[in-house]
Every structure is written in C-alpha cells, then in structure tokens.
Amino acid sequence: MDSLRTEHSWFVAEMIRVTTDMWRKGWDERNGGNVSLRLTKDDIASYLPVWNQPRVRKLTEPVQGLDGECFLVTGTGAYFRNVEREPEQNLGVIRVLAGGEAIEILWGFGTDGGPTSELPAHLKSHYASQSREGAPKRVIMHCHATNLVSLSYVLELTTSNLTRALWEGSTECLVVFPDGIGTLEWMVPGTDSIGDATAALLAQHPLALWPFHGVFASGTTLNEAFGLIDTVEKASELLVKTISMGGPRQTISTQNLIDLARHFGVKPLPSALALNGWRLAPHPAEKPRKEAALFGTAGR
C-alpha cells in the first residue's frame, strides 16, 4: 500500500524539511550534525506491520528509562543535503529494547547503515530533558551553528556568561530561552561521557554548547528545537559583529532584562541575571593574566 510507505509519513516529511533547512543554513556541513525525534505509539501503529525485518545493534552502555521507545534518527555518516533525495538511506527508525542495552532498527539506514555515532548523547538527553517543566520534549537536535561556535573561542566559557551575552545579543533571547544555555568543557564527541554531560545540562537548560564544535537543543517539536537554535545563532551573529567593531557602547541592561521577564512571565536563569554584563576570555598571550574584558557596568 503506497500510502503506508514510511517515507510518506508525516514524521519523515518533517525530518526532511528540518534537515534540509539546517543544511541550507550552513549548520551541517558534510555529515556534521544529527537529529532524533521520539515517536508515539499512534505515530507508528500503521507502519509496524511493514517493519518486519528488524536488525539489532548493541549500545556501548545501557540507557535508562527508554524501554520500548521509538525514535526517528539521522544516520551515521549521513549528509543532510542528501536526506531529501534518499530518506531511507539517511534516516532510520529505532526502538530501544528492554533493559536499554540494545536497539533494533525497524526501518531505514540502507542495508548496512546505522544511527548517528552520537546516539548515546541523544538517548540520554531524551531521558534527562523530560524532567524539565512544560510539554514533553520529543526532539534532540545537534548542529554546528557557525556564529555560536565562533563565540566559544572568545567568550569566557561558563553557562552564566554565555547566557548573559546571548540575552544581550537580541531582545527576544531571554523570552525564548530564559533557562539559559548550558556550557560544557571540550570533550571527545560520540562518547558515553559526553552523552552523560550533555544530558545533565539538558535536564536544566533547553540548549547545551559543545565548545569549538556545536550545540544541542531539546524541544517539543522539530520546529521548536530548530527555532531555539535559529534564535541563538542570530544573537551570536549580532555579537560576533559587535565584538568585531570593538565591543558594545550600549546594551540591554539588567533592569531591561528584569522588565522583559516580568512582562512575558518568564523566570530568567538567576546566575546569568546577577552578572554585570558578560566577559571575553583573556587572551592567551597576556602574562601575567589580566582581567578579562567586561562588557557591562553596575546600574546600567
């Protein structure tokens, strides 16, 4: 039945759309980036009868709390520019088996492919992000957002400092992500340890920065997760341009942020709101270490 072909499903169509948009944005060069969407029983009920040749893959370590859950995931080595042309080669549906020690591939990934190498970070983040308030988070999205990654080379890398800089980068940012953007130290990607660290951040924040690499976002829908990254990337672009012009001469003040939060009924990350502006990292050539540049003053 042609109408039941998986590539004609709403979830594959939406994944094609978002991965194509991410590639056109320049966030996912070559096989960079990965996305996973949690599927409900209703989403897949019509397709289960035709997914009759599952392939089992063992995970590098067990994942907790996801037994029986199904996900649409981008494939290892998949080029986002090819997803629209060959969805069944570059996407796949997986199900976590009982005990969380293995998955079965229900559909996709060609004849011998598999899910993204960063699947541990995705699965652990799916579980952890459910602890945040609001509607259930069904999406984990990773990409190499150009301007945000650029900022990781020049900003003092703390969750509070990065969050404050982005809030001041564009007025809408505090409203879109009041819980801020978590920040890791640099870690080897694709490992269980970076998966654990990312999941811990996404239990508290909607976004997590991998310095010098990219960003992870969680969302209730593909559209929401994409919108989070798009907002962060726009603010990052504004900051990159502002820093290149010598830094801000005026900016959004602490009181402005308080007023903004009150008007839109959001609760800003306290540690970021408490800062008097944001800092650049010290230049490595500075010896002895000088105080990092502070963009902001008390009472601004």
Nearest Cα to Cα of residue 142 among 233, 24, 36: 36
One-letter amino acid for residue 231 of the chain: T
Asked if residue 283 belongs to a known ligand binding site, the reply is no
Burial 197-216 (b: 16+ CB within 10 A, else e): bbbbbbbbbbbbbbbebbbb
Instruction: Examine residue 288 and say whether the peptide bond preceding it is cis (omega within 30 degrees of 0).
Output: yes
Active site residue 14: no
| Total Cβ atoms within 10 A of residue 165 | 28
Q: Is 142 annotated as a binding residue?
A: yes
Q: Using CA atoms, how far apart are residues 168 and 299, in angstroms rounded to an integer?
A: 15
Q: Return the residue matching tokens 């939060």.
A: 261
Strands, sheet with 102-108, edge to edge from the N-terminal-most edge strand: 55-58, 102-108, 91-96, 70-74, 34-39, 139-143, 214-219, 207-210, 181-183
Residue in 118, 168, 233, 237 annotated catalytic: 118
Please indicate if the annotation marks 213 as binding a ligand. yes
Q: Say how many CA atoms lie within 13 Å of 237 toward its Cβ.
A: 9
Question: Which residue numbers belong to the known binding site for Zn(2+)?
Answer: 142, 144, 213
Catalytic sites, residue numbers = 118
Question: Which residue numbers belong to the known binding site?
Answer: 142, 144, 213
